[in-house]
Amino acid sequence: MASEHDEHHRTHHHGHVEYEFCPRCGGGLERRVVKTHEPQRLVCRACSFIFYQDPKVVAGTIFTVDGGIVLLKRGVEPALGKWVFPGGYVDRGESVQDAAIRETKEESRLDVRLNSLLNVYSYPRSPNVIVVYTAEVIGGMLEAADESVEARIFPPDDVPWPDLAFDSTKDALNDYIKSHLKG
């Protein structure tokens, strides 16, 4: 019998899906150059529909509690067991700001108010665009929840750099520490 964790990963592809069939007619898709100087696109062999694979938007927050940065240990792949700031995918029809607040609550049980945009991160081989806000806690009690197995407050000098989950985690934490904690 499949575990809840296995079932989650069977049904949630976290932005990494390779499509085989046309959403218009059901024909087979193939990669081909549509315009010179652009990447190959998925094109239907039957109806010539061009299936553009848009990036997934991720929203996250970085904030402090008692002078330390809140990080969560991931309980799911990718990067199982690695540390991240609270964040996750933006749902269709949801604002990026609302997603950042929702994901923070779901993963850490903390209510936050967004302060400012820290930065937007994207990388050539990743389908994700990560939008990170600075925030302040306005309620709740820190607790690992949803896709997290541990929640911890790290003094800025004790951030577990080798155990951070993603390039965006490292880059955003560096930006936050430089702009908000070093004076």
Active centre residues (catalytic): 150
N-terminal to C-terminal alpha carbon distance within the chain: 54
- Give the span between the Cα atoms of 40 and 35, in whole angstroms: 8
Residue pair 83/164 in contact (Cβ under 8 Å)? The answer is yes
Q: What is the C-alpha separation between 121 and 136, in angstroms, rounded?
A: 21
Residue 19 in tokens = 């499509």
Helix (H, G, I), strand (E, B) or coil at 63: coil
